[in-house]
Amino acid sequence: MKSLQFFILMMLLITSSIAQEKNIETLSVSVENLIPFIVENYSASDEENELEAKNITFLIQTSSGDLSSEDKVIFKYAFKLLSQRLSEDDIISIVAYSGLNGLALDSTSPKDTKKLLHTIENLKVSIKEFHPDGIDIAYAHAKENFDDEAHNSVVMIRNPNVSTIVTETEATEASSIKPKAKNNAVLLTAITLLPEILAVIKN
């Protein structure tokens, strides 16, 4: 068990090194805070950020099966909201790690909501090739599809309800991860953006 944990730790160190070389930003958020995270980091009215294309690899922590019904609801609302805030020039990829490990969605426009939602609904069957380490796959994919003219990032979405042996992840990535907002700030953001979120739900 210790050997396996050491191997995982070494893989995280290597992938973090790759990210730094290629200037790939790493962000982390729990699934329950995903919608406020999108609101905070992908502003629809941020003209400065709109000038720079975004190349985002979402790294989703999973069990060995598909996402739970509750998680699917959160992810679907989140990606619908994201599709409204990003442009045709932006790129989204989805990689699973922990229970399932592999690329589920490869370099897709955020405007293709049908494809995004299908991937979330059928995450397991969307992975064509399974690997031992989804985290390594995410950074390898981000490196391979690195765009010099875009803001390249890996967004790790943690799920506290998923049992996993990857216990070192948060500590290893801590230096490159933005600090999580305080609970009252998240609540305030959610309340402020409630009309927009409700509009997404209705659609």
Instruction: Give the tens place of pLDDT for each residue, 5-47.
Output: 565 566 655 555 544 456 999 999 999 999 999 999 997 765 5
* Per-residue pLDDT, 158: 97
- Is the domain spanning 2-202 CATH 3.30.499? The answer is no
Q: Find where tokens 């730790």 sit.
A: 9
**Cα(135)–Cα(80) distance, integer angstroms:** 25
Domain ranges for the chain: 2-202
* C-alpha 190, offset from chain centre: 19
**Cα(4)–Cα(135) distance, integer angstroms:** 15
Q: Is 185 a residue whose pLDDT tops 50? A: no
**Cα(93)–Cα(117) distance, integer angstroms:** 13
**179 pLDDT tier (thresholds 50, 70, 90):** very low
DSSP conformation letters of the chain? -HHHHHHHHHHHHHHHHHHHHTT-EEEEEEGGGHHHHHHHHS-TT-HHHHTSEEEEEEEEEE-SSSPPHHHHHHHHHHHHHHHHHS-TT-EEEEEEEESS-EEEEEEE-TT-HHHHHHHHHTHHHH-SS--S-HHHHHHHHHHHT--TTEEEEEEEEE-TTS--S--SHHHHHGGGSPPPPPHHHHHHHHHHTHHHHHHHHH-
pTM for the model: 0.71
* Per-residue pLDDT, 162: 84
Instruction: Give the tens place of pLDDT for each residue, 114-173.
Output: 999 999 999 999 999 999 999 999 999 999 999 999 999 999 999 998 864 443 444 344
**How far apart, in Å, are the Cα atoms of 27 and each of 24, 39, 84?**
10, 14, 20
**4 pLDDT tier (thresholds 50, 70, 90):** low
Which tokens go with 115?
């494809």
Q: Is 84 a residue whose pLDDT tops 90? A: yes
**How far apart, in Å, are the Cα atoms of 61 and each of 25, 53, 146, 175, 198?**
18, 26, 22, 20, 26
Residues 6+ apart with CB under 8 A from 163: 63
